[in-house]
Amino acid sequence: MNDKPPRFTITCNGCGESVPTGSWSWRHSCGGTLQLDIAVDAARVDSCCVAEDTRLSRFAPVLPLEHAPETAIGDTPLLIEVIDGVQVCFKLEYLNPGGSFKDRGAYVTVVRCAELGFKSIVVDSSGNAGIAIALMGLRLGIQVDVFLPRSTPDGKRQLLRLLHARLHEVDGDRMQVQRETLSYAATGAAYAGHWWNPYFAHGVKTMAYEALHQIPDVDCVFSPVGAGTVLLGLNTGYSELATAGITPSAPKLVAVQAAGYSPVALDLGAADVSAAPSRLADGIAIANPPRRREIADAVTRSGGFGMVVSDAEIASALRWLLARGYLVEPTSAVPLAGLMRCIREGRVRPGQRILLPLTGTGLKVLDELPHITDGAFGS
Ligand SMILES: [Zn+2]
């Protein structure tokens, strides 16, 4: 039995220095991002795979936590659709309680903050990440403060208030929001921004552990990339499973980015689609993500590649999904837009099996969906 919490290390990706694990760190003093590594072996993985147990807490032996409390997060269905002979395995992450895969990352983040004694967490996201952190904070009795631009749509504000988050509206751009968030964090709250904090990926990795049992042999994973949290989480999970000898090798990772927000794909040598900057993929509209190099390195190590898709391609993939009852947000259609082009161009062939997480629910953006499906972005 592996009922003891796993040992883990935190290292700076910039200078390589070790960082203490017994206190909260979201960035190294040199400005580098932090990498959290857990010594995972086959015995630990086996003890996560107790028959019939579908709870997220069963992954405690491979999570950087003292205890893994019960939650309704995870255990999302996997559905296979065949597109021109290619098996596309949709992992329905938008069915998580907060409506996105980010619930998984928020789970590990907030539980760890609670273990380290924090009574308050601060984030600078009004999107899926803010909602996921607020939901977990509510469950664990931790106050969540959210800094957001004054221009944030009302629907998001209302949802955050419903989850008892305290809202701080900021005049100015995203950088000003981050400055005010960090200055608030200096008063004793844990800053849990998901672009930075190294615990987030270890929540998201549970998607790979679940998927392995639902569909053992996957050739490729197509992932949307903004800050890289889906891709880095899946990379963490599949790398651990390969290191522990559970899978012979990890699948290739394909990073799909939206036009105008594609630094990682361009670093990987992808062709730009020369389209206007995306207005649809707001969940991944990030010009220069802090983990840019790590994302590109993970893709390269896996033997995968990067791609850039246009809003016309995203709208077309979104219509395909909505027409089959997958009620997702436009950002979730980004990897399918990439995959559909790869299938057309023969880069992905019949018989191959692709894992494709559908990351976020369309229920949060119902006012936008009819406009997109009406053909405003091309048909
Ligand atoms: Zn450093």
Q: What is the mean pLDDT of residues 226-254?
A: 95
Say how many Å lie between the CA of residue 194 and the centre of ligand 1. Answer: 18
**Is the model's pLDDT at 168 over the cut of 70?**
yes
Task: Report the percent of the chain where pLDDT is more than 90.
Answer: 79
d(CA 299, CA 306): 8
Say how many Å lie between the CA of residue 19 and the centre of ligand 1. Answer: 9
- Could you tell me whether strands 18-19 and 8-12 are parallel, antiparallel, or unpaired per DSSP bridges? antiparallel
d(CA 224, CA 70): 29
144: confidence class by pLDDT, cuts 50, 70, 90 = very high
In Å, what is the CA distance from 123 to each residue of 72, 90, 198, 315?
Answer: 22, 29, 14, 30
Say how many Å lie between the CA of residue 233 and the centre of ligand 1. Answer: 21
Say if 78-96+200-376 and 102-191 have the same CATH topology.
yes
The residue among 365 and 65 whose pLDDT is bigger is: 65
Say how many Å lie between the CA of residue 20 and the centre of ligand 1. Answer: 13
Q: Report the pLDDT value the prediction gives residue 238, as an integer from 0 to 100.
A: 96
Say how many Å lie between the CA of residue 290 and the centre of ligand 1. Answer: 13
d(CA 263, CA 293): 10
The residue among 53 and 230 whose pLDDT is bigger is: 230
Say how many Å lie between the CA of residue 230 and the centre of ligand 1. Answer: 24
Instruction: Give pairs for 157-166: CB < 8 Å, separation 24+.
Output: 157/126, 159/131, 159/364, 160/126, 160/130, 160/131, 160/134, 163/131, 163/134, 163/135, 163/137, 163/138, 164/134, 164/137, 164/138, 165/130, 165/134, 165/137
Q: Would you state the structure tokens that stand for residue 177, as one six-digit string?
A: 């929001």
Q: Which of 42-56, 69-83, 323-337 is least confident?
A: 42-56
Say how many Å lie between the CA of residue 147 and the centre of ligand 1. Answer: 27
d(CA 251, CA 96): 24
Say how many Å lie between the CA of residue 12 and the centre of ligand 1. Answer: 5
Mention every residue, 6+ apart, whose C-beta is less than 8 A from residue 16.
none
Say how many Å lie between the CA of residue 8 and the centre of ligand 1. Answer: 18
Say how many Å lie between the CA of residue 168 and the centre of ligand 1. Answer: 31
Say how many Å lie between the CA of residue 267 and the centre of ligand 1. Answer: 23
The answer to whether the CB of 303 falls within 8 A of the CB of 252 is yes
78-83: strand order across its sheet: 78-83, 86-91, 353-357, 220-224, 252-258, 305-309
32: confidence class by pLDDT, cuts 50, 70, 90 = very high
| Right CATH for 102-191 from 3.30.70.270, 3.80.30.20, 3.40.50.1100, 1.20.1440.230 | 3.40.50.1100
Say how many Å lie between the CA of residue 21 and the centre of ligand 1. Answer: 15
Q: Which of 63-72, 205-214, 217-226, 368-377 is least confident?
A: 368-377
Say how many Å lie between the CA of residue 109 and the centre of ligand 1. Answer: 21
379: confidence class by pLDDT, cuts 50, 70, 90 = low
Say how many Å lie between the CA of residue 196 and the centre of ligand 1. Answer: 13
The residue among 158 and 83 whose pLDDT is bigger is: 83
Say how many Å lie between the CA of residue 63 and the centre of ligand 1. Answer: 24
Which DSSP helix (H) or strand (E) runs through 202? helix 200-204
pLDDT per position as a tens digit, 179-234: 999 999 999 999 999 999 999 999 999 999 999 999 989 999 999 999 999 999 99
pLDDT per position as a tens digit, 308-367: 999 999 999 999 999 999 999 999 999 999 999 999 999 999 999 999 999 999 998 888
Say how many Å lie between the CA of residue 291 and the centre of ligand 1. Answer: 13
The structure's pTM equals 0.96
Q: Report the pLDDT value the prediction gives residue 129, as an integer from 0 to 100.
A: 92
Say how many Å lie between the CA of residue 44 and the centre of ligand 1. Answer: 30
Q: Report the pLDDT value the prediction gives residue 154, as an integer from 0 to 100.
A: 82
Indicate the residue type of 116.
Answer: L
Say how many Å lie between the CA of residue 186 and the centre of ligand 1. Answer: 20
2: confidence class by pLDDT, cuts 50, 70, 90 = low
| Residue-averaged pLDDT of the chain | 93
Say how many Å lie between the CA of residue 6 and the centre of ligand 1. Answer: 24
| Right CATH for 78-96+200-376 from 3.40.50.1100, 3.30.70.580, 3.40.190.10, 3.40.50.300 | 3.40.50.1100
Q: What is the mean pLDDT of residues 243-271?
A: 94
Burial class (CB in 10 A: 0-12, 13-18, 19+), 216: exposed
**Is the model's pLDDT at 1 over the cut of 60?**
no
- Domain segments of the chain as ranges: 8-62, 78-96+200-376, 102-191
pLDDT per position as a tens digit, 6-18: 999 999 999 999 9
Say how many Å lie between the CA of residue 320 and the centre of ligand 1. Answer: 44
Which residues have CB less than 5 Å away from ligand 1 (the ion)? 12, 14-15, 28, 30, 32
Say how many Å lie between the CA of residue 188 and the centre of ligand 1. Answer: 22
Say how many Å lie between the CA of residue 200 and the centre of ligand 1. Answer: 19
Say how many Å lie between the CA of residue 113 and the centre of ligand 1. Answer: 22
